[in-house]
Amino acid sequence: MNIKRRVWSLIGLIFISITSNAHQLIAGVAGGFKPAMEPLVQAFEKETGHHVLTAYASVGVLYAEIKQGAPFDLFISADIAAPESLERQKIGVSGTRISYAASQLVLWSANRDRINGSLSVLQSNSFTHLALPNPKVGVHGKAAIEVLDKLGLTQQLRPKFVEGKNVLQTFQFIESGAAELGFISLSLIYREGKAIPGSYRIIPASLHPPLEQQAVRLRDSKAPKVAQSFLDFMLSPAAQAIIRHYGYLPVNLSKQFSP
């Protein structure tokens, strides 16, 4: 199986072919950024006429596949480490890496009464399953483990863990009731300026490292000018307004966003 077909099969791309259109852009995007990415793509396409194809997966999966030749023009990550590493390896183009937002970790339940605005539910032992993204490949999963470590709850709660392969699958576990609560990105429960039904608590930033997110243009891009245009667009006031609307922080502000 050739690398392109294997990559598409592994990370579940939403398209099945790539045309030779020079104005088409292919972006590998961290799964948690999907709610914000979709309106960003719509706005960019309307403004420029360029077409953007997106593939969503965990940072770890996208990073591995980019190193193996995945046909992406852009990598829109949920962390700093992966874009930095690609730049050091000269797979990411030096000078194109940008910080476009900061994510927030949230403990969420689809049950309106499960989380009372604090983290006390974690100590209560009143649930059977706690969902979190795979900490080996997902930054939100790593952050969740750090939170539990600082609270002294990791070993106690580990038997209750239900690991999603990425933050999107983790959200689905909680939404479906397969897990009563779990750690995800605020962006997944924030729509049109307010949180979706359920209960949640934004995790204090003091309990985990900053979740700054970066993007980088890739060396083997077939549409480098379009890719650079999208990166520039992500820092524009219009794009930043969209990003904030989905629960992200501007990276130059340390004050926590409160819906």
Contact, 92 vs 67, CB < 8 A? no
Which position has the higher pLDDT, 11 or 188? 188
What strands lie across the sheet with 98-102, from one edge to the other? Answer: 51-57, 24-30, 74-76, 212-217, 98-102
- In this model, does residue 46 exceed pLDDT 50? yes
- In this model, does residue 258 exceed pLDDT 90? no
CA distance 133 to 152: 19
CA distance 33 to 202: 17
Which position has the higher pLDDT, 55 or 7? 55
Contact, 25 vs 50, CB < 8 A? yes
Query: Torsion angle of alpha carbons 55, 59, 216, 9, nearest 10°?
Result: -30
> 143: pLDDT confidence band, cut at 50, 70 and 90?
very high
User: How do beta strands 212-217 and 98-102 pair?
Assistant: antiparallel
Cα separation of the two ends of the chain:
47
Please give the share of the chain, as a percent, with pLDDT higher than 70: 87
According to the model, what pLDDT value does residue 107 have? 97
CA 39, 40, 43, 44 torsion-angle sign: negative
> 225: pLDDT confidence band, cut at 50, 70 and 90?
very high
Average pLDDT over residues 90-107: 96
Please give the structure tokens belonging to residue 118. 């604090």
pLDDT digits (tens, 9 = 90+) for 3-31: 444 444 444 443 333 443 446 899 999 98
Which position has the higher pLDDT, 101 or 18? 101
In terms of pTM, does the model score above 0.75? Answer: yes
**99: phi then psi, degrees, rounded to nearest 5:** -100, 115
**129: phi then psi, degrees, rounded to nearest 5:** -130, 135
Average pLDDT over residues 34-46: 95
Q: Using CB atoms within 10 Å of the CB of residue 129, give its burial: 0 to 12 exposed, 13 to 18 middle, 19+ buried.
A: middle
